[in-house]
Amino acid sequence: MTIKFGLIGGGVMGEALLSRLIALGTYQSSEVIVSEPLSSRLDFLKQQYDVAVTTDNSEVFTQVKEVVFLAVKPQVFSAIAQELASIDILNKEHSPLIISILAGVPLSQLEAAFVQLPVIRAMPNTPATVGAGITAICSGAYTNAKHHQIAQQIFSAVGEVVEVSEGLMDAVTGLSGSGPAYVALLVEALADGGVSAGLPRAIANQLALQTVLGTAKLLHETKMHPAELKDRVTSPGGTTIAGIAKLEQAGFRSALIEAVKAATERSQELGK
Ligand SMILES: NC(=O)C1=CN([C@@H]2O[C@H](COP(=O)(O)OP(=O)(O)OC[C@H]3O[C@@H](n4cnc5c(N)ncnc54)[C@H](O)[C@@H]3O)[C@@H](O)[C@H]2O)C=CC1
Ligand SMILES: O=C(O)[C@@H]1CCC=N1
């Protein structure tokens, strides 16, 4: 069987993508190879997804025919680039498409490491695990329509896809890449508020989670502006405006704006 898809880095995001691609049949298990230094992860991925595994990244580059998917930490990128310098990828019969989801690492660095190979930089997020992710992609200089279609197919298997210019990728990282963590904090804090107000923990968790999920669904399906929904919930002299006044006092909106800006700046730093 031809190996079409190679994953370098079988951690949180690598597995999130892999699990969906196999479940949806985008790639068969027998068409996939994963490279990962941790033997515990390798054993788990092999057992869970029945894919070929290796600790040698060069095996992925020499075997894969279609896509090499880079999902290591940005801090590991220069070591991998050095490893690759010794492999003659260009003389392969088929040059694979390289897809990188590394925060901050720009196309210029990727293309310097994968000389003349087609590269697509992408930023997915963890809801990809359940098919509810959103991924922004931007294409490098050596890509064509076929590469573009492959990337679209991979990321639409795990949620929505948007295309942005590369200059916006760090901002995407600060908003939707990191955003699931902000929303998780919100759910946790809402539940804590409920517990503080006397609710049992399990009920508070359920109320908090379904409130966030339901609100997102309502906004998504009706396309209502968030300010309009806020106004609809807020009765004059009622409970919600009392809560909102406290949020404003504590700088809730400003805190979120600053969080996205700080994460964007960190993404920019990671690419230097
Ligand atoms: N976690 C997230 O929500 C998101 C992460 N990303 C990006 O995805 C990348 C991976 O992040 P996570 O999956 O969260 O990290 P992770 O730490 O869970 O996974 C990285 C994996 O790479 C492996 N690894 C380390 N050195 C390696 C090497 N030399 N060769 C091959 N594999 C190696 C590690 O053992 C680990 O299993 C990062 O670049 C991050 O910026 C992008 C979007 C969202
Ligand atoms: O925290 C990080 O650096 C990665 C990138 C986006 C989400 N997690």
What does the pLDDT read at residue 61? 87
Q: Residues near 120 by Cβ (< 8 Å), separated by ≥ 6?
A: 97, 98, 99, 100, 137, 138, 139, 140, 143, 147, 148, 151
In a shared domain, residues 49 and 127:
yes
Contact 53, 36 (CB under 8 A): yes
3-class DSSP assignment, residue 110: helix
Pick the atom of ligand 1 nearest to 173's CA.
43
CATH number at residue 233: 1.10.3730.10
Strands 5-8 and 159-163: unpaired
pLDDT averaged over 10-residue windows placed end to end, the chain, 272 residues: 93 94 94 96 96 94 92 92 71 80 95 91 96 96 94 95 97 98 98 98 98 98 98 98 98 98 96 81
Q: Considering 169, 187, 217, which residue would you say is the last residue of a domain? A: 169
Ligand 2 contact via 135 beta carbon (within 6 Å): no
Q: What is the pLDDT of residue 116?
A: 83
Task: List residues near ligand 1 (CB under 6 A).
Answer: 8-14, 35-38, 41, 57, 71-74, 76, 79-80, 101-103, 123-126, 177
Q: Is 263 exposed, middle or buried (0-12, 13-18, 19+ CB in 10 A)?
A: buried
Would you say residue 75 lies in a domain?
A: yes
| Per-residue buried b or exposed e for 114-123, using 16+ beta carbons within 10 Å of the residue's own CB | beebbbbbbb
Tokens describing residue 200 = 């049992």
Q: Domain of residue 196: give its range.
A: 179-270
pLDDT of residue 237: 97
pLDDT score recorded for residue 165: 96
Same-domain check for residues 109 and 34: yes
The pLDDT of residue 90 is 53
ipTM of the complex: 0.98
Ligand 2 within 6 A of 177 CB?
A: yes
Q: What angle do CA 146, 151, 156 make, to 5 degrees?
A: 125
Give the residue numbers of the binding site for NADPH.
57
pLDDT value of position 140: 95
Residue nearest to atom 1 of ligand 2 (CA): 178
As for how many domains the chain has, the answer is: 2
- Using alpha carbons, select from 151, 152, 131, 157 the residue that is nearest to residue 25: 157
Based on C-alpha coordinates, what's the Rg of the chain?
21
Give this prediction's pTM: 0.95
Q: Is 271 helix (H, G, I), strand (E, B) or coil?
A: coil
CA nearest ligand 1 atom 23, residue: 9
